[in-house]
Amino acid sequence: MDHFSSLLSSTLVFYSVVSITVIYILTKLRSKPSGRLPPGPRPWPLVGNILQVGKNANESFFELAKIHGPLMTLHLGWRTTVVASSPAMAREVLKTQDPSLSARTMIEAAKCLEYGENSLVWRDCVPRWRTLRRICTTQLFTVKRLEALHHLRREQMRSMMRAIYKSTSAPVDIGHAAFLTSFNLVGNMIFSKDMFDWDESEKSKEFKKALADMLFVGGKANWADYFPFLRPFDPQGIRKEMTRIFRIIFPVFDQYIDERLQSGTRSEEEDKDFLDILLESKTETGEKLTKFEITRFFYDLFTAGSETSSHTIEWAMSEIIRNPMVMEKARDELDKVVGKERRVEESDIDNLPYLHAVVKETFRLHPVAPLLIHHRALDSCEIEGYVIPKDAQVFVNVWAIGRDPNVWPEPDRFFPERFVDSDVEYKGQNFDLLPFGSGRRICPGLPLAHKIVHVIVATLLQCFDWHLPNGQNPEKLDMSAKIGINLTKVQHLVAIPTPRLPQHIYN
pLDDT tens for each residue of 101-126: 999 989 999 999 999 999 999 999 99
> Would you list the DSSP string of 323-340?
-HHHHHHHHHHHHHHT-S
- Predicted pLDDT at 343: 95
Band of the pLDDT at 5, cuts 50, 70, 90? very low
pLDDT at 484: 77
**Could you tell me the CA-to-CA distances from 149 to 205, 303, 348, 386, 451 in Å, in that order?**
27, 19, 17, 48, 12
The confidence score (pLDDT) of residue 2 equals 38
Question: Which DSSP letter does residue 97 get?
Answer: T
> What's residue 292's pLDDT?
92
Calculate the alpha carbon distances from 74 to 27, 44, 83, 220, 372 in Å: 16, 11, 8, 19, 17
pLDDT of 451 above 80: yes
Task: Identify the band that residue 305 occupies on the pLDDT scale cut at 50, 70 and 90.
Answer: confident
Mean pLDDT (whole number) for 164-182: 90
DSSP string, 278-302: HHH-B-TTSPBPPHHHHHHHHHHHH
Strand pairing of 494-499 and 464-467? antiparallel
State pLDDT tens for residues 384-424. Answer: 999 999 999 999 999 999 999 999 999 999 999 999 999 99
Look at residue 12 and tell me whether its pLDDT is greater than 80.
Answer: no
Mean pLDDT for the stretch of residues 453-468: 96
Decide if pLDDT at 10 tops 60.
no
CATH of domain 31-506: 1.10.630.10
The whole-number pLDDT of residue 264 equals 85
Least confident of 21-25, 251-255, 430-434: 21-25
- Percentage with pLDDT > 70 across the chain: 92
Q: CA nearest 381: which of 66, 94, 120?
A: 94
Tell me if 457 sits within 8 A of 317, measured CB to CB.
Answer: yes
pLDDT of residue 9: 38
pLDDT category, 200, cuts 50, 70, 90? low
Q: What's the mean per-residue pLDDT of the chain?
A: 89
Neighbours of 241 (CB within 10 A): 19
From residue 165, give the alpha-carbon distance in Å to each of 148, 159, 501.
28, 10, 11
- If pLDDT is split at 50, 70 and 90, which confidence band does 318 have? very high
How many other CB atoms are there within 10 angstroms of residue 446's CB atom? 17
Picking from 285-299, 460-474, 489-503, which range would have the lowest pLDDT averaged per residue?
285-299
For residue 7, the model assigns a pLDDT of: 30
Q: Are 69 and 349 in contact (CB under 8 A)?
A: no
pLDDT in tens, 429-449: 999 999 999 999 999 999 999
How far apart are the C-alpha atoms of 294 and 275, rounded to whole Å? 9
Q: How far is residue 343's CA from residue 470's CA, in Å, rounded to a whole number? A: 29
CA angle 97, 99, 104 (to 5 degrees): 100
Sign of the CA dihedral running 155, 497, 357, 414: negative
Does pLDDT of 481 surpass 50? yes
Structure confidence at residue 33 as a pLDDT band (50, 70, 90): low
| Residue spans of alpha helices (H) in 395-445 | 398-402
Higher pLDDT among residues 304 and 503, named by residue = 503
**Predicted local distance difference test score (pLDDT) of residue 198:** 74
